[in-house]
Amino acid sequence: QKEVEQNSGPLSVPEGAIASLNCTYSDRGSQSFFWYRQYSGKSPELIMFIYSNGDKEDGRFTAQLNKASQYVSLLIRDSQPSDSATYLCAVPDTGGFKTIFGAGTRLFVKA
Amino acid sequence: EAGVAQSPRYKIIEKRQSVAFWCNPISGHATLYWYQQILGQGPKLLIQFQNNGVVDDSQLPKDRFSAERLKGVDSTLKIQPAKLEDSAVYLCASSFGTERETQYFGPGTRLLVL
């Protein structure tokens, strides 16, 4: 059974700090990785995807991928209280058709 | 562009009753997904359609759950009979092509089984 692992948190950071969210995956052949944000009581929405080793930046968000270590992370710079949400890591299953979601990490940004 | 539509938004039923959920994906999206999300967990795929056909239903409890996608557009998910452990949010999502593309989620249906 292929797995996507995340620390459930909660991760608490002060406003303006960098929040670092981590995800490990078991499928060594995985090629694409997605980060979704889910506010409480709402549905997930995509914030970042990454295909290549290294970093990908989009505004305050940076995704980092290390395929050798089977590790993908999301950094949120200058964290804002509005960033408080659950962040889901999602990895398509290379052996089938489904996308496997991690359990998510809850982030709290304190004003 | 209209998003993914789902109805109802909330449903309360007693165990052993039946319930149905409806989803209308984003226009032109070939792939439609039904997920079950239990509180504190990530979404779990129940069934995935590519146009009319099922491409993955390995985690669908087929003794009680069924789903169809009519004419490759909207879809219904049915539970009959419901159990207490079916209490969850049922999310419908769609993507233009395969699961390797961005999935767009609907607002979800919150189901409570008493």
Q: Does B108 touch chain A (CB under 8 A)?
A: yes
Confidence (pLDDT) at A97: 76
Q: DSSP 3-state assignment of A19?
A: strand
Confidence (pLDDT) at A98: 84
Q: A2, A58, A99, A106: which to substitute to probe chain B, counting the most B Cβ within 10 Å?
A: A99
Instruction: Please determine, for residue A94, whether its predicted confidence score (pLDDT) is greater than 90.
Output: no
Pairing of strands A61-66, A71-76: antiparallel
Q: Does B9 touch chain A (CB under 8 A)?
A: no
**Would you call A42 and B102 a contact, using CB atoms and an 8 Å cutoff?**
no
Q: How confident is residue B97, by pLDDT bands cut at 50, 70 and 90?
A: confident
Instruction: Please determine, for residue B99, whether its predicted confidence score (pLDDT) is greater than 70.
Output: no
**Would you call A44 and B108 a contact, using CB atoms and an 8 Å cutoff?**
no
Across residues A90-108, what is the average pLDDT? 90
The string of pLDDT tens digits covering residues A33-56 is: 999 999 999 999 999 999 888 899
The string of pLDDT tens digits covering residues B18-56 is: 999 999 999 999 999 999 999 999 999 999 999 889 999
DSSP classification of residue B87: -
**Would you call B42 and A97 a contact, using CB atoms and an 8 Å cutoff?**
no
**Would you call B98 and A97 a contact, using CB atoms and an 8 Å cutoff?**
yes
DSSP classification of residue A102: P
Residues of A in contact with B43 (CB under 8 A): 44, 88, 101
Confidence (pLDDT) at B95: 93
Option in B42, B59, B105 nearest A45 (CB): B105
d(CA B36, CA B12): 16
For the ranges A43-47, B2-6, B88-92, B98-102, the lowest mean pLDDT is seen at B98-102
**Would you call B99 and A99 a contact, using CB atoms and an 8 Å cutoff?**
yes
What mean pLDDT value characterizes chain A? Answer: 93
Q: How confident is residue A17, by pLDDT bands cut at 50, 70 and 90?
A: very high
Residues of A in contact with B44 (CB under 8 A): 101
DSSP classification of residue A41: T
Asked if the peptide bond before residue B81 counts as cis, ω within 30 degrees of 0, the response is yes
Across residues B65-78, what is the average pLDDT? 94
Which phi and psi (to 5°) does residue B70 adopt? -80, 125
Residues of A in contact with B56 (CB under 8 A): 96-98
Q: Does A34 touch chain B (CB under 8 A)?
A: yes
Instruction: Please determine, for residue B1, whether its predicted confidence score (pLDDT) is greater than 70.
Output: no
d(CA B21, CA B109): 7
d(CA B30, CA B49): 8
**Window 45-64 of A, Cβ < 8 Å to B:** 45-46, 49
